[in-house]
Amino acid sequence: MSPPPPPPPAEARLAMMELANMISVPMALTAVIRLGVPSAVWAAGANAPLSAAELLPEGHPDPSVLERLLRLLASRGVFSEHGGSPRRFALTEVGCTLVPGPSGASYADYVLQHHQDALVAAWPRLHEAVLDPTGPEPFARANAGVPAYAYYGKDREANEVMLRAMTGVSEPFMEALLDGYAGGFDGVATLVDVGGSSGACLEMIMRRVGTIKEGINFDLPDVVAAAPTIAGVRHVGGDMFKSIPSGDAIFMKWVLTTWTNDECTAILRNCYGALPNGGKVIACEPVVPEETDTSTRTRALLENDIFVMTTYRTQGRERSEEEFRQLGLAAGFTGFHAIYLDPFYAVLEYKK
């Protein structure tokens, strides 16, 4: 039996104290969003610094409670702190992602979606995913056996938060995609969006790429039944594990991450069968690096991987570029290329 390690240095003990208390960061972030603080800071004067008392109703008995939350979030780069008495706070560039843009979307709903009671209840059972990796994911274990997608289907409010969250993260990425990859749609007359939900991403693509004549928004029947009418877009309900509508190219965003390798291969194989020779799949997915480091990008990707494991599928996962390439080869694709236009998502081209 190995002897115990030597007493840890103070820096190591401090680092572990920070990790042990890390839950206070997302919970404080959720709290200030629920209180409307980011939007209030911005609305009061284009991000003019405000004190906690100025952010609360007049006569609030103890503004210091909010000030403590803001100090923590300032230490994490969400707010900037302006000294004096009282302390005043403004939004950083990170904090500004929580303020709705022209469309009304922001990252605020993404934060709220992650911290709904049903999702938070899953985290204490994360270790069970290790003990029983082929069993129900922690979310289902914590919610009477109900998987996350079924939960969203039954709880209208939770589903609306989830849809707003997806819009909030999709819009800026789609702008980056269309700025840096618009030429990737050259020669595409019919574009199929697999798992396209409301068709919002397809609408953005078609608005920017005028050569696309028809868009097919493909998702589950109950999803497309609620989709709005969009010029040039046909909503088609179905099951991507059975068949996918034909098109010159197939677009999908954040679809493969929540499925097993075999399921991803089945999806891509159906895509292969729906494409003409020379057609391609354009898959936008998080791609984890081969080597682990402490960069913000790597942390964000690996944290999201554990979120997928906990909430959606224990065997669902984020993958490396090589792992994505192997999925395409198994499905019959001969060409593969990864394009990094965004710190979180990569564009993966599978060519037939």
Q: What is the pLDDT of residues 25-43, one digit of tens each?
A: 999 999 999 999 999 999 9
Q: Does residue 234 carry a pLDDT above 90? A: yes
Beta pairing partners, 280: 249, 351
> Among residues 323, 222, 314, which one has the least CA distance to residue 268?
323
Average pLDDT, the chain: 95
Instruction: Determine the average pLDDT of the residues in 176-190.
Output: 94
Report the pLDDT value the prediction gives residue 165, as an integer from 0 to 100: 93
Give the model confidence (pLDDT) of 53-75 as tens digits.
999 998 899 999 999 999 999 99
CATH of domain 10-96: 1.10.10.10
Q: Does residue 1 carry a pLDDT above 90? A: no
Sign of CA dihedral 281, 285, 291, 296: positive
Query: What type of residue is 232?
Result: G
Report the pLDDT value the prediction gives residue 88, as an integer from 0 to 100: 97
Report the pLDDT value the prediction gives residue 153, as an integer from 0 to 100: 87
| 280-286 and 249-253 strand pairing | parallel
Quick one: how far is CA 139 from the chain centroid? 17
H helical segments located in 198-317: 200-208, 221-224, 261-274, 296-311
Report the pLDDT value the prediction gives residue 70, as an integer from 0 to 100: 99
CATH 1.10.10.10 residue spans of the chain: 10-96
Class (C level, CATH) for 169-351: alpha beta
